[in-house]
Amino acid sequence: MSGPHVLIIVQNLPVPLDRRVWLECQALLARGYTVSVICPKGPGDPARQRIEGVYIYKYKPAPEAEGLLGFVWEFAYSWVRTAWLSLAVWRRQHFDIIQGCNPPDTFWFLARLWRGRGVRYIFDHHDLNPELFLSRFGAPKTFGQRLQYAGLKWLERRSFRTAERVTSTNESYKAVAVRRGGRRANHVTVVRSGPDTKQMRPIYPASPRPADGIDLAYLGIMGPQDGVDQVLLVMDELVHRRGRTNVTVTLLGFGDCLDDLRQQSTELGLDDHVTFTGRVDRPAIAEYLSRADIGLCPDLKTPLNDLSTMNKTMEYMSYGLPAVSFDLVETRVSGGDTLLYVPSGDIGAFADAVESLIDDPGLRVRLGEKARERVSTQLDWRPQAEAYVAVFDEVSGFSRPGPAVPDDGTKPEFDAQGRRYVDLDDPVEFARFLRERRGP
The tens digit of pLDDT for each residue in 5-21 reads: 999 999 989 999 899 99
1: confidence class by pLDDT, cuts 50, 70, 90: low
Q: How far is 365 from 371, CA to CA, in rounded Å?
A: 10
Judge whether 429 lies within some domain: no
33: confidence class by pLDDT, cuts 50, 70, 90: very high
Do 21 and 110 contact (CB within 8 A), yes or no? no
63: confidence class by pLDDT, cuts 50, 70, 90: confident
Parent domain of 351: 214-376
pLDDT at 248: 97
Judge whether 416 lies within some domain: no
Q: How far is 294 from 356, CA to CA, in rounded Å?
A: 11
Judge whether 143 lies within some domain: yes
Half-sphere exposure of 433 (CA within 13 A, CB side): 27
Say if residue 301 is in the same domain as residue 318.
yes
The tens digit of pLDDT for each residue in 92-148 reads: 999 999 999 999 999 999 999 999 999 999 999 999 999 999 998 899 999 989 999
Say if residue 14 is in the same domain as residue 145.
yes
Say if residue 151 is in the same domain as residue 282.
no
Say if residue 388 is in the same domain as residue 356.
no
Residue 280 has pLDDT above 70, yes or no: yes
Residue 224 has pLDDT above 70, yes or no: yes
| Percent residues over pLDDT 90 in the chain | 90
pLDDT at 45: 94
Say if residue 272 is in the same domain as residue 154.
no
Residue 282 has pLDDT above 70, yes or no: yes
Judge whether 420 lies within some domain: no
Residue 337 has pLDDT above 90, yes or no: yes
Say if residue 48 is in the same domain as residue 134.
yes
Asked which of 85-89, 414-418, 429-433 is least confident by mean pLDDT, the reply is 414-418
Backbone angles phi, psi at 44, to 5 degrees: 80, 0
Say if residue 220 is in the same domain as residue 131.
no
Do 238 and 209 contact (CB within 8 A), yes or no? no
CATH label of the domain that carries residue 167: 3.40.50.2000
Judge whether 334 lies within some domain: yes
pLDDT at 74: 85
Q: How far is 321 from 323, CA to CA, in rounded Å?
A: 6
Judge whether 282 lies within some domain: yes
Asked which of 24-33, 107-116, 133-142, 152-161 is least confident by mean pLDDT, the reply is 133-142
Backbone angles phi, psi at 402, to 5 degrees: 125, 160
pLDDT at 237: 98
Domain count, the chain: 2
Say if residue 355 is in the same domain as residue 386.
no
Q: State the chain's mean pLDDT as an integer.
A: 95
Half-sphere exposure of 23 (CA within 13 A, CB side): 24
Sign of CA dihedral 28, 33, 39, 44: positive
The tens digit of pLDDT for each residue in 298-328 reads: 999 999 999 999 999 999 999 999 999 999 9
With CA atoms as reference, report the closest residue to 221 among 14, 379, 8: 14
End position of a domain, from candidates 347, 376, 405: 376
Residue 55 has pLDDT above 60, yes or no: yes
Backbone angles phi, psi at 218, to 5 degrees: -125, 135
pLDDT at 65: 65
Say if residue 187 is in the same domain as residue 227.
no
Q: How far is 404 from 256, CA to CA, in rounded Å?
A: 35
Say if residue 258 is in the same domain as residue 354.
yes
pLDDT at 354: 98
Q: Where are the alpha helices (DSSP H) in 58-191?
A: 67-92, 108-115, 129-137, 143-162, 171-179
Residue 68 has pLDDT above 80, yes or no: no
Say if residue 242 is in the same domain as residue 372.
yes
Say if residue 234 is in the same domain as residue 160.
no
Q: CA-CA distances (angstroms) from residue 156 to 101, 110, 185, 257, 386?
A: 12, 14, 17, 26, 26
End position of a domain, from candidates 324, 346, 376: 376
